[in-house]
């Protein structure tokens, strides 16, 4: 892809509300809501984002669009004797981002594939939509690929469930090295399971 086109796509998706027509976005969300939760698609919606996180248009690589609920978990008020601070009225956010949850669910749905990465493609009032890139580690074209061949190793099995994707590393605090990440390394279980 020409750099100028890629830059234009990235700029468009940086602020989709400003750059994409409202009717187009609304119609697309309406169509995506009618699809199954896990929808296999022929090619990525955001080709620039897909390539940035490792997508290649070749055999053994698949893209799945999925949707997941928006917002944090909220507890309803308990009308029994409680301290006001323990009534559960505050917003409770899980330790995992919705992107990580989407990756894990797709990984569970397709157990013979490995989750390479994912990226955001849209959201409405109730859902967020992500496209998840899956790689078949047993496919000959993947095994012989110098950029994707590493995923065939047994140490990468179930990587979405172990916080090994980009979103997973972000959630574990490993996206930046140095101060603040000392107790999170080298793994999720390190230092009294403080890696979430």
User: Cα–Cα distances in Å, from 46 out to 22, 63, 118, 131?
Assistant: 18, 11, 11, 9
pLDDT for res 26: 86
| Token pair in block for residue 113 | 């594939």
Pull the structure tokens for residue 69: 């609920």
H-assigned helices in the chain? 3-14, 16-19, 22-34, 47-52, 98-109, 140-143, 166-171, 190-193
As for how many domains the chain has, the answer is 1
- Check residue 105 and give its pLDDT: 94
Within 10 angstroms of residue 139's Cβ, the number of other Cβ atoms is: 17
In which domain, by residue range, is 74 found? Answer: 3-193
- Ranked by mean pLDDT, the top range of 3-7, 15-19, 136-140, 186-190 is 136-140
Integer Cα distance of 109 and 40 in angstroms? 12
Round to whole Å and give the CA distance between 26 and 31.
9
pTM of the model: 0.82
Q: Give me the mean pLDDT over the 13-17 stretch.
A: 76
Between residues 172 and 2, which one has the greater pLDDT?
172
Question: What does the pLDDT look like over 119-128, one tens digit per residue?
Answer: 999 998 889 9
Rg of the chain (C-alpha set): 19
pLDDT at 5: 66
pLDDT value at position 40? 96
| CATH number for position 148 | 3.40.1120.10
Residues 94-112 have a mean pLDDT of 91
| pLDDT surpasses 90 at 33 | yes
């Amino acid at each position: 892809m020409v750099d100028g086109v890629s830059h234009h796509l990235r700029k468009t998706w940086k602020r989709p509300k400003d750059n994409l027509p409202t009717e187009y976005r609304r119609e697309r969300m309406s169509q995506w809501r009618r699809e199954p939760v896990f929808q296999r698609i022929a090619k990525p919606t955001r080709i620039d984002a897909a390539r940035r996180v490792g997508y290649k248009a070749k055999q053994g690589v698949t893209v799945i669009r999925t949707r997941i609920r928006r917002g944090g978990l909220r507890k309803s008020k308990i009308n029994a004797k409680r301290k006001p601070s323990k009534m559960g009225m505050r917003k409770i956010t899980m330790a995992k981002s919705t992107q990580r949850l989407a990756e894990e669910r797709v990984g569970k749905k397709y157990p013979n594939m490995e989750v390479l990465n994912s990226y955001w493609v849209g959201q409405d009032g109730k859902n967020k939509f992500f496209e998840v890139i899956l790689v078949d580690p047993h496919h000959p074209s993947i095994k012989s690929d110098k950029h994707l061949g590493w995923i065939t190793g047994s140490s990468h099995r179930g990587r979405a469930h172990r916080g090994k994707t980009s979103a997973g590393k972000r959630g574990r605090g490993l996206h930046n090295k140095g101060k603040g990440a000392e107790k999170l390394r080298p793994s999720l279980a390190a230092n009294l399971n403080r890696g979430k």
